[in-house]
């Protein structure tokens, strides 16, 4: 597949994590391969990055047993900029590391290269959010997409009692893409693996924060959902169909 050959001094790569098995979805098919409008959710997601002018290449991380099917989907929908489909690891952070490791060892040749890490089941990503993520990371070294908390956020104790009610105005939901200097996040993953911390981290933002990095945020809309449950699936389907009916795309 073709890879965009940009003229920038640095490259913008994407690692798409598509390793779920759909347990919470209650589906026999991994959630990333469930279809909306005759197209797998994973393809809806990757298309947004593939079509973006500033993206140079994409690595997809997938469970070993689904790599062949994943590659068939990528070919069927003529997705370009795919560098490789990498076999996933034992957990989410291990799988992300494998994608980063492939880029470092086989593709990247600049210490200034940027990587956007994104869930394969977060298909409502927009062109504008990708642009803002890259711009923020270029300026500040990283970028975390967040959305405003729209309900009251509380902290509870071990017995489930309310310990503190947090100020919703300063609370955000961490989402994706999460964008970093490729070399920095790869090296941080190496440290975490040596220290046995890698599997304890829920996402790349928490990993980098735990090693002292100041993280910068950009805001996105609440529609930038991760499809984990049936409710999420039908919510994205409704968003997609409403946009299609109005003759617009999720840009």
Taking only the tens place, the pLDDT of each residue in 173-190 is 999 999 999 999 999 999
For the cut 50, the answer to whether the pLDDT of residue 32 exceeds it is: yes
- Predicted structure pTM score: 0.91
Dihedral (CA of 76, 79, 80, 84) sign = negative
For the cut 70, the answer to whether the pLDDT of residue 130 exceeds it is: yes
Mean pLDDT score, 95-119: 97
Lowest mean pLDDT among 2-6, 71-75, 89-93, 164-168: 2-6
- The tokens describing 183, both together, are 């070399």
The HSE-up count of residue 185 (CA atoms within 13 Å, CB side) is: 35
For the cut 50, the answer to whether the pLDDT of residue 22 exceeds it is: yes
For the cut 80, the answer to whether the pLDDT of residue 143 exceeds it is: yes
Closest CA to 88 of 106, 108, 73, 70: 70
For the cut 80, the answer to whether the pLDDT of residue 114 exceeds it is: yes
For the cut 80, the answer to whether the pLDDT of residue 23 exceeds it is: no
CB-based burial label for 128 (10 Å; 0-12, 13-18, 19+):
exposed
For the cut 50, the answer to whether the pLDDT of residue 241 exceeds it is: yes
For the cut 80, the answer to whether the pLDDT of residue 198 exceeds it is: no
At 97, give phi and psi (nearest 5°). Answer: -60, -40
Lowest mean pLDDT among 49-58, 123-132, 147-156: 147-156
| CA atoms of 71 and 83, how far apart (whole Å) | 11
| CA atoms of 68 and 110, how far apart (whole Å) | 31
Lowest mean pLDDT among 14-28, 152-166, 204-218, 231-245: 14-28
For the cut 90, the answer to whether the pLDDT of residue 5 exceeds it is: no
Residue 122 CB neighbours (<10 A): 24
């Amino acid at each position: 597949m073709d890879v965009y050959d940009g003229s920038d001094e640095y490259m913008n790569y994407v690692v798409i994590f598509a390793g779920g098995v759909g347990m919470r979805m209650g589906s026999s098919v991994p959630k990333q391969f469930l279809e909306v409008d005759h197209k797998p959710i994973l393809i809806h997601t990757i298309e947004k990055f593939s079509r973006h002018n500033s993206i140079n290449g994409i690595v997809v991380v997938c469970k070993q047993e689904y790599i062949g099917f994943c590659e068939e989907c990528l070919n069927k929908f003529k997705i370009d900029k795919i560098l490789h489909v990498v076999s996933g690891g034992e957990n989410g952070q291990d799988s992300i590391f494998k994608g980063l490791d492939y880029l470092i060892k086989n593709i990247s040749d600049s210490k200034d290269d940027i990587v956007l890490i994104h869930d394969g089941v977060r298909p409502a990503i927009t062109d504008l959010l990708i642009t803002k993520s890259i711009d923020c990371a270029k300026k500040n070294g990283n970028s975390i997409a967040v959305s405003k908390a729209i309900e009251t956020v509380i902290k509870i104790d071990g017995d489930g009692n309310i310990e503190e009610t947090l100020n919703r105005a300063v609370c955000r939901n961490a989402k994706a893409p999460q964008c970093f200097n490729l070399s920095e996040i790869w090296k941080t993953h190496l440290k975490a693996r040596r220290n046995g911390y890698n599997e304890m981290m829920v996402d790349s933002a928490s990993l980098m924060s735990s090693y002292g990095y100041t993280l910068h945020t950009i805001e996105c809309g609440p529609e930038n959902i991760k499809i984990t449950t049936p409710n999420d699936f039908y919510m994205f389907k409704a968003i997609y169909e409403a946009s299609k009916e109005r003759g617009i795309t999720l840009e």
